[in-house]
């Protein structure tokens, strides 16, 4: 049976160059510990420019906001502060973070659940408040009545859009107000006309489906018309994030692996996962049941390409391209990519601590990290780490299938339940590079479980043609040069 079911990661030019600096990476881990998160700040600005290119293609205007929740890095936020890109914050601490990094309030959008302190600071600094419910809108109005605050720019987040023709199923969400409640929301805005500036309406859907998003965008255009009929002058539609990222270099790797995973679940080949975990698939009387619960790790239409395809799509009932409808109404378009904007912006390094063979013959590799430090399994994303052999370490040149375990005293602390195929066998002292972890996998779930340290972060930058590094919190956009 083949032992080379690779899921080879797609690597950007900068990431590939940095991985090639093997001695420097090893020294960094020796100095700062394992795991270690490595950021590439300039890449996030390059990614943002790709969204601008889509705007120019469709003759649209509006703002690109980075969804800060995808990564806590200070270096990334400071780099963005020096660019034209805005930032979307979903907590009080994120708001304080971006203000300290150099963002002015007019470039900040406040989203997510908000307490009184979050609302006050957002209003005080002039952020655009994306309101999640009627109750939140009332709370914001009462806050502005009690305290001397400037006029607050608000957007109304909507959900549960309904199709008039062919039924388009929309996943229920706890965020946003039902589109039928737009009238109630406008009543509250009307009550606070002296303190609210209604910028427009928004949606944010937990789906990759283009039909659902097209329906939601068309629904927002209808809601904008209702705003105008009520005497308001809205100017923008915000369509949130969810543009995705393409993690794998080859589609054939993904198709081959998922096919073989199905065969393993059916028992027609050896297991490919720890204890034959099926990722949503199961065998019943020789028949494959269930649905594969994995993120589509190979997505050729992702990021700015996904946005382009959405804007080129016809509105379900108006039957005209969505970009054309936005342009004809002179509406700005706001987007909030998270994962997609930090694509190729970082990686996580972990040292191999132990390699052992179980009685059943499985190879178990324990690394100096845990599944909270590298949370690909939690987000159901699959891609191979890259093995960097340490000088003088043992190991064969034969492809090896291994299970990666973490440093927590917990049975389920597996970096991934998948058997990972490496081109060489690892040994203690080697490094594993987990690429493209900046979007949610690096620090979203990181904690101090069992008093294990949280990974340090470093920022990489080019200076006089060579790669240099500094601690994440010590990075400023004035460092280095792009030459």
Domains of the chain are 13-40+345-474 (2.40.37.10), 41-244+298-334 (3.20.20.10), 251-290 (no CATH)
Phi, psi of 271 (to 5 degrees): -60, 145
As given in the structure block, the two tokens for residue 344 are 């190729």
Question: Across all residues in the chain, what is the average pLDDT?
Answer: 94
Q: Taking a C-beta distance cutoff of 8 angstroms, is the pair 342, 85 a contact? A: no
Q: Taking a C-beta distance cutoff of 8 angstroms, is the pair 95, 127 a contact? A: yes
409 is catalytic: yes
User: Residue 385: CB partners within 8 Å, gap ≥ 6?
Assistant: 350, 404, 420, 422, 432, 433, 434, 435
**Spans of the chain, pLDDT less than 70:** 1-3, 165-172, 393-396, 482-483
- Which spans in 347-436 are helix H? none
As given in the structure block, the two tokens for residue 246 are 């393409």
The residue assigned the tokens 């009238």 is: 183
CA distances from 385 to 7, 52, 139 (A): 9, 32, 47
Cα separation, 312 vs 302, whole angstroms: 14
Q: Taking a C-beta distance cutoff of 8 angstroms, is the pair 87, 68 a contact? A: yes
C-alpha triplet 183, 220, 310: angle, nearest 5°? 170
pLDDT for 470: 98
Cα separation, 216 vs 221, whole angstroms: 9
Locate the DSSP E strands across 20-169: 36-39, 65-67, 86-89, 108-110, 128-131, 152-159
pLDDT for 166: 56
pLDDT for 1: 45
Q: Which of 247, 245, 246, 282 is nearest to 261 (CA)?
A: 282
User: Residue 176: CB partners within 8 Å, gap ≥ 6?
Assistant: 132, 133, 157, 158, 159, 160, 202, 203, 204
pLDDT for 169: 60
pLDDT for 420: 96
pTM above 0.75, yes or no: yes
Cα separation, 390 vs 33, whole angstroms: 16
pLDDT for 28: 97
Locate the DSSP E strands across 321-430: 332-334, 346-357, 363-367, 386-388, 400-405, 420-422
Q: Which of 47, 53, 38 is nearest to 66 (CA)?
A: 47
User: Residue 148: CB partners within 8 Å, gap ≥ 6?
Assistant: none
What's the gap between Cα 44 and its chain centre? 12
Catalytic residue among 220, 227, 345, 409: 409
């Amino acid at each position: 049976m083949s032992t080379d079911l690779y899921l080879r990661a797609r690597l950007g030019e900068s990431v590939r160059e940095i991985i090639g600096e093997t001695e420097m990476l090893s020294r960094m881990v020796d100095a700062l510990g394992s795991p270690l998160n490595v950021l590439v700040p300039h890449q996030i600005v390059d990614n943002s420019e790709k969204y601008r290119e889509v705007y120019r293609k469709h003759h649209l205007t509006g703002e690109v906001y980075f969804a800060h929740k995808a990564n806590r890095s200070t270096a990334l936020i400071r780099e963005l502060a020096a660019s034209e890109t805005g930032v979307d914050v979903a907590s009080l601490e994120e708001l304080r973070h971006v203000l300290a990094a150099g963002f002015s309030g007019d470039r900040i959008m406040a989203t997510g659940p908000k307490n009184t302190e979050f609302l006050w600071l957002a209003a005080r600094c002039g952020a655009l408040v994306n309101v999640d419910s009627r109750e939140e809108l009332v709370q914001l109005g009462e806050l502005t009545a009690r305290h001397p605050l400037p006029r607050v720019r608000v957007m109304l987040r909507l959900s549960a859009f309904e199709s008039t023709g062919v039924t388009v199923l929309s996943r229920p969400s706890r965020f946003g107000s039902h589109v039928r409640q737009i009238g109630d929301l406008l009543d509250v805005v009307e009550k606070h006309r002296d303190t609210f500036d209604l910028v427009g309406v928004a949606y944010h859907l937990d789906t990759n489906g283009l039909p659902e998003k097209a329906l939601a965008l068309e629904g927002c255009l209808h809601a904008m018309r209702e705003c105008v009929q009520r005497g308001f002058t809205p100017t923008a539609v915000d369509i949130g994030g969810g543009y995705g990222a393409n993690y794998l270099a080859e589609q054939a790797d993904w198709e081959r692996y998922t096919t073989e995973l199905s065969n393993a679940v059916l028992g027609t080949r050896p297991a490919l996962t720890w204890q034959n975990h099926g990722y949503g698939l199961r065998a019943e009387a020789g028949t494959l049941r269930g649905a594969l619960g994995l993120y589509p790790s190979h997505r050729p239409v992702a990021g700015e390409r996904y946005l382009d395809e959405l804007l080129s799509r016809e509105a379900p009932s108006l039957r005209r391209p969505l970009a054309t409808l936005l342009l004809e109404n002179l509406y700005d378009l706001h987007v909030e990519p998270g994962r997609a904007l930090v694509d190729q912006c970082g990686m996580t390094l972990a040292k191999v601590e132990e390699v052992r063979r179980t009685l059943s013959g499985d190879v178990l590799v324990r690394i100096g990290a845990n599944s909270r430090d590298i949370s690909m399994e939690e987000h159901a994303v699959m891609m191979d780490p890259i093995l960097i052999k340490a000088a003088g370490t043992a190991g064969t040149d034969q492809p090896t299938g291994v299970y990666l375990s973490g440093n927590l005293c917990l049975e389920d602390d597996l970096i991934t339940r998948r058997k990972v195929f490496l081109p060489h066998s690892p040994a203690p002292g080697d490094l594993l590079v987990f690429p493209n972890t900046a979007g949610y996998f690096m620090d979203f779930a990181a904690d101090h479980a069992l008093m294990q340290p949280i990974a340090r972060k470093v920022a990489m930058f080019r200076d006089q043609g060579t790669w240099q590094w500094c601690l994440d919190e010590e990075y400023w956009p004035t460092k280095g040069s792009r030459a």
